[in-house]
């Protein structure tokens, strides 16, 4: 006879107790998690602690000292490392309004060269305090103003002599004497020369370091204006005598003058648009334009053409004042050419090492 199993046996009761205990523990754990989440929500959102910043900007102090008396003028403080010398000059101008930036000359050493405005302050710093020596450069003018004033004077002065004002020449003598064609041609060439200079100043040339002392402009104007008055007085005088060899001398000299003027213009345009090779500026090379072929022989062909213009003008007019002016211009331009040639040797050594400065020579 089979025995019926009782569901309430100890093994079954043990299983139920085990299951019930497990359920009880699971229920308690869920309540604990729920209570913990409520506590977190009531406390608010946990924010991450901000990261500590360890970066610190270093500022420089620039001490401005008078070069003559060695006395301190002012201290420009809190100068960022990325600042340039021009920024320091602007801050110095705020402290001392009588010295505007273009008038201020700053040197790192008492007998050293003047520092450029574009130089970085950080490149001058040995410590956090930088000492610079101040020099008053005097009243300054822009390079554009300088050249426009210098070249406008000769253009207008020559025209005043060309029309033979009654305050300059005797009117009776002016009416009697016939004007030789070279007088009109000389006026045309002279005006063309200075009009070219004026247009190139406005539209071609690129000037660096934007100012120059006013006294330089006064000296330049005295030189050009004074010689123009002397030249124009003789060429436009009623008793002016034409060149010795007549028409041929005038024609060939005028042709040479026009060629030199054209060559000077094309060289100035080439210098204003120097080619670049990567980050390096290259020396201008000759192009299909024949006037630029002079770059093969000299490093400053613009001065060569300028000297050629005045020599041609001397031959065309055959006057002593023009000859003296041309002689002085050749000397002055040869000095400028030698100075530029030395700079070109440092900057463009491979390109200009076998060239002359201004006058072509046989190598």
Residue 227 pLDDT greater than 60, yes or no: yes
- Kindly state the average pLDDT of the residues 41-64: 60
Q: In sequence order, what are the residues at sequence separation of 6 or more whose Cβ sits closer than 8 angstroms to the Cβ of residue 355?
A: 296, 297, 298, 299, 341
Report the range out of 41-45, 166-170, 172-176, 346-350 with the highest average pLDDT: 166-170
> Residues 199-223: what's their mean pLDDT?
91
Would you place residue 237 in the very low, low, confident or very high pLDDT band (cuts 50, 70, 90)?
Answer: very high
The pLDDT mean for the chain works out to 84
- What pLDDT score does 340 carry? 92
What's the pLDDT score for residue 339? 93
Q: Where are the alpha helices (DSSP H) in the chain?
A: 10-43, 85-95, 121-124, 143-162, 171-176, 181-203, 214-235, 246-272, 301-317, 320-347, 349-352
pLDDT at 278: 59
Average pLDDT over residues 76-95: 92
Q: Which residue has the higher pLDDT, 148 or 47?
A: 148
Q: Is the pLDDT of residue 99 over 60?
A: yes
Question: Considering all CA atoms of the chain, what is the largest pairwise distance in Å, rounded to the nearest integer?
Answer: 172
Q: Are 133 and 65 in contact (CB under 8 A)?
A: yes
Quick one: pLDDT at residue 32?
Answer: 53
Q: What is the mean pLDDT of residues 271-293?
A: 82
pLDDT at 21: 45
pLDDT at 50 over 80: no
Q: Of residues 267 and 206, which shows the higher confidence score? A: 267
> What's the average model confidence in pLDDT over 116-142?
91
Q: How confident is the model at residue 234 (pLDDT cuts 50, 70, 90)?
A: very high
Kindly give the pairing relationship between strand 211-213 and strand 140-142.
antiparallel
CA 140 from chain centre, in angstroms, equals 16
Which residues touch 185 (CB under 8 Å, ≥6 apart)?
A: 250, 254, 316
User: Average pLDDT, stretch 27-33?
Assistant: 50
Burial of 204 (0-12, 13-18, 19+ CB in 10 A): middle
Over the stretch 138-182, which tens digit does the pLDDT of each residue have? 899 999 999 999 999 999 999 999 999 889 998 888 888 889 999
Q: What SS3 class is residue 275? A: coil
Whether the Cβ atoms of residue 168 and residue 160 lie closer than 8 Å to each other? yes
Q: Which of 20-24, 230-234, 287-291 shows the lowest mean pLDDT across its residues? A: 20-24
Confidence of residue 217 (pLDDT cuts 50, 70, 90): very high
The answer for 70, left when phi > 0, alpha when psi is -120 to 50, beta otherwise, is left
State mean pLDDT over 340-349: 88
Say which range, 161-170, 179-188, 255-264, has the weakest mean pLDDT: 161-170
- Span 334-342, mean pLDDT? 93
The pLDDT, as a whole number, for residue 156 is 98
Helix (H) or strand (E) holding 300: none
Percentage of the chain beyond pLDDT 90 is 61
> Domains, the chain, ranges and CATH?
60-138 (3.10.20.90), 139-241 (no CATH), 242-274+283-362 (no CATH)
**pLDDT at residue 5, rounded to an integer:** 45
């Amino acid at each position: 006879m089979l025995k019926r199993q009782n569901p309430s046996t100890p093994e079954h009761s043990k299983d139920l107790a085990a299951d019930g205990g497990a359920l009880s523990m699971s229920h308690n754990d869920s309540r604990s998690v729920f209570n913990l989440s409520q506590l977190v929500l009531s406390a608010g959102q946990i924010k991450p602690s901000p990261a500590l910043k360890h970066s610190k900007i270093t500022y420089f102090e620039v001490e401005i000292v008078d070069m003559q008396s060695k006395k301190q003028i002012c201290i420009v403080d809190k100068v960022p490392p990325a600042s340039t010398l021009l920024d320091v000059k602007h801050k110095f101008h705020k402290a001392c309004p009588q010295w505007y930036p273009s008038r201020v000359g700053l040197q790192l050493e008492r007998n050293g060269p003047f520092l450029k405005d574009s130089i970085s302050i950080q490149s001058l710093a040995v410590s956090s305090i930088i000492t610079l020596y101040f020099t008053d450069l005097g009243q300054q003018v822009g390079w554009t103003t300088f050249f426009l004033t210098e070249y406008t004077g000769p253009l207008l002065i020559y025209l005043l002599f060309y029309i033979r004002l009654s305050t300059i020449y005797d009117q009776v003598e002016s009416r009697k004497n016939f004007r030789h064609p070279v007088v009109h041609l000389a006026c045309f060439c002279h005006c063309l020369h200075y009009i070219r200079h004026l247009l190139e100043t406005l539209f071609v040339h690129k000037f660096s370091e934007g100012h120059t002392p006013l006294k330089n402009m006064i000296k330049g104007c005295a030189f050009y204006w004074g010689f123009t008055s002397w030249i124009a007085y003789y060429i436009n005088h009623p008793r002016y005598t034409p060149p010795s060899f007549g028409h041929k001398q005038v024609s060939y000299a005028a042709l040479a003058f026009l060629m030199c003027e054209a060559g000077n213009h094309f060289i100035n345009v080439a210098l204003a648009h120097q080619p670049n090779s990567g980050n390096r500026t290259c020396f201008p090379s000759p192009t299909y334009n024949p006037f630029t072929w002079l770059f093969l022989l000299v490093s400053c062909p613009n001065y060569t053409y300028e000297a050629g213009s005045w020599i041609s003008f001397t031959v065309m007019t055959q006057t002593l004042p023009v000859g003296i002016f041309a002689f002085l211009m050749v000397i002055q331009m040869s000095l400028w050419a030698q100075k530029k040639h030395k700079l070109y040797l440092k900057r463009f050594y491979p390109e200009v090492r076998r060239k002359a400065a201004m006058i072509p020579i046989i190598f």
